[in-house]
Amino acid sequence: MGLEYIYAALLLHELDKPVEEEAIKKILEAAGATPDPARTKVLVETLSEVNIDEVLKQAVAVPAAAAPTPAKAEDEKVEEKKKEEETKKKEEEEAALAGLSALFG
């Protein structure tokens, strides 16, 4: 369903007007859209079973996930690079020890 229908219904609800087919049709026409009678009817029937105020409260109450900060991403890259360097250094030490044991083995 197009968002324009939802926006029209929310506008009517916010203005304490009944969410009716004719009112949604008028709003869509005023906005320059050509309303689809079937969509309008389905929307009105669906919203008649919904407590819009409750849905809006729940939507506002849902916390948004915070975007990772660039500094945190950089810190993770630096830590990853350090781990790679440590791993490489350990491998070099092990190779050197293996070479020494071959001399004395």
* CATH number of the domain encompassing residue 49: 1.10.10.1410
pLDDT tens-digit readout, 57-103: 888 776 667 766 666 767 788 888 888 888 888 887 776 666 555 55
* Collapsed DSSP state (helix, strand, coil) of residue 66: coil
How far, in Å, are 4, 42, 82 from residue 19 at the CA level?
14, 12, 61
Question: Which structural domain range is residue 74 located in?
Answer: 3-104
How many domains does the structure of the chain reveal? 1
Q: Write down the pLDDT at residue 68.
A: 64
Q: Write down the pLDDT at residue 105.
A: 47
Of the pLDDT bands very low, low, confident and very high (cuts 50, 70, 90), residue 15 is very high
The per-residue pLDDT of the chain, averaged, comes to 83
